[in-house]
Amino acid sequence: MKLVRPESDPVCDKFAAARKELSSALIERDEEVDLALTALVAHEHVLLVGPPGCGKSLLLDSLLAWTGGTKFSILLTKFTTPEEVCGPVSLAALKEDRYVRVTAGKLPEADFAFVDECFKASSAILNTLLKILNERVYDAGDGVVRKVPLKLCVGASNEWPSPDTGKELSALFDRFTLRRAVAPIRSQAGRQKLLWTRDHTPRLATTITPAEVEAARRTALALPWSAGAKEALETILRELAKEGIQPGDRRQFKTVGVVQAFAYLCGADEVLPEHLEVAQHCLWEDPAEQPQKAAQVIAKVANPVGMRVTQLLLETEQVIAGCDVRNLADAAKAAAKLAEIDRQLAGLRGNGRLEKARAYLKDQLRKLKLASIEAV
Ligand SMILES: Nc1ncnc2c1ncn2[C@@H]1O[C@H](COP(=O)(O)OP(=O)(O)O)[C@@H](O)[C@H]1O
Ligand SMILES: [Mg+2]
């Protein structure tokens, strides 16, 4: 029996609204927004890696401003102490010869956490961090292992951990089920928006409680997989193995939940092959070349709409960058290419990013025509 989602799902509507609001304020961060919201629904940790100043903190802070519950944010340096992450040792307890930390306001009590420069963690805090992120438990020092409320940890870093990094750092890297490189703004229009908008902070009309996040997770986990999507995932894993990419069993298993979460975010009532788009951020181990290969394999096997949109937008930028509007023949050729890209976009269905892409393309086409008219 196919499980059909109720007609109205207020929590899912909130996710859809936040998705729109975040990606319209942040420039060229649609995929990162999708990734962060998917992580939230899937209860998996997410890592963004990119050069300083490319909007990682703005996105992750905005996400955590949207969620209610207790939050914890920290910028790690190699001098960060366990006190700063887990709280100071209780002096009252010490007087009774007990060693326990007071964890109020710190990571062990957080529903949602943002760890900036996460790979700067010293070994003094790595072990605790690993336990909290992976097993979601913490021992304050009294030998009692307690469950932590953590639902999502978002991490940011300027660079990937180096391949010869220690075992603990690699383990931390592996704890992030979703991982993505963030690139600087590419498009001309994006650059203008960056320069001439004084405040890029997203304004979110709603907030979401930990209980609602939990409800979203349950609904997402109950979404059935279509036969096509199941088969596509299995094919993707086989194709990746041929390319020498073999994500571990835990990673493969977790990917299933992540794809369901993305399907939920897209408002679908079953998982379709196109929702496998998000798996490109899960199904690899080595950041050097594997993410691109994983994306290619997924695009080939599952042909997700979102990946086609991204590809077509890249082509759009190339056409615009390579066009001299003063040369009429050149401008006409570029306009024809843009119109062809629009036809391809028009043939796609059902992705939140599609409408925005078409509006953008129409706008570029209009500008191109105006510029070439002015030039003559
Ligand atoms: N893609 C973007 N969209 C909107 N604003 C951006 C973007 N990239 C950079 N900015 C601007 O630059 C500022 C610095 O970005 P920030 O999030 O602190 O970068 P990071 O954490 O990646 O180092 C932001 O507050 C914002 O004003
Ligand atoms: Mg930052």
User: Residues 64-104: pLDDT tens digits?
Assistant: 999 989 999 999 998 999 999 999 999 999 999 888 999 99
Residue 347 has pLDDT above 60, yes or no: yes
Question: Which residue, judged by its Cα, is nearest atom 11 of ligand 1?
Answer: 55
Asked whether 241 and 284 are in contact (CB, 8 A), the reply is: no
Residue 1's pLDDT band (cuts 50, 70, 90): very low
Check residue 146 and give left, alpha or beta (phi > 0: left; psi -120 to 50: alpha). Answer: beta
Pocket test for ligand 1, best of 62, 200, 201 (most atoms within 8 A of CB): 200
Q: Is the CB of 62 under 6 A from ligand 1?
A: no
Q: What is the mean pLDDT of residues 263-285?
A: 95
Rounded mean pLDDT of 120-129?
89
Mean pLDDT across 297-325:
87
Q: Cβ(305)–Cβ(351) under 8 Å?
A: yes
CA-closest residue to ligand 1 atom 25? 58
Closest residue to atom 10 of ligand 1, CA basis = 55
Q: Say if residue 5's pLDDT is above 70.
A: no
CA 75 to ligand 2 centroid distance, Å: 9
What letter represents residue 70's amino acid?
T
pLDDT in tens, 143-169: 889 999 999 999 999 999 987 878 888
* 4 against 299, higher pLDDT: 299
The answer to whether the CB of 155 is under 6 A from ligand 1 is: no
The torsion angles phi and psi of 49, rounded to 5 degrees, stand at: -120, 125
Mean pLDDT computed over 326-340: 89
pTM of the model: 0.89
- CA–CA separation, 279 and 304 (whole Å): 11
Q: Are 201 and 25 in contact (CB under 8 A)?
A: yes
Over residues 4-29, the mean pLDDT reads: 88
Q: Residues 189, 33, 237, 156: what is their CA dihedral angle, to the nearest 10 degrees? A: 100
Task: Give CA–CA dist 280/36, Å, rounded.
Answer: 14
Torsion angle in degrees (nearest 10) through CA of 342, 309, 231, 296: 120
**10-221: CATH architecture:** 3-Layer(aba) Sandwich (3.40)
Q: What is the DSSP string of 128-190?
A: HHHIIIII-EEE-SSS-EEE----EEEEEESSPPPTT--HHHHHHHHHEEEEEEPPPP-SHHH
* Residue 27, ligand 1, Cβ within 6 A: yes
Q: Return the ∠ at Cα 152 (arms to 265 and 183), rounded to 5°.
A: 70
Residue 265 has pLDDT above 70, yes or no: yes
Hunting for tokens 């944010």 — which residue is that? 73
Of ligand 1's listed atoms, the one at least distance from the Cα of 55 is: 17
Q: Is the pLDDT of residue 2 over 50?
A: no
Cβ-based burial of 321 (10 A; exposed 0-12, middle 13-18, buried ≥19): exposed
Residue of 54, 73, 199 best suited for mutating to test ligand 1, as the one with most atoms within 8 Å of CB: 54
Question: Separation of 63 CA from ligand 1 center, angstroms?
Answer: 14
Residue nearest to atom 17 of ligand 1 (CA): 55
Asked whether the predicted pLDDT for residue 376 surpasses 90, the reply is: no
- pLDDT at site 168: 85
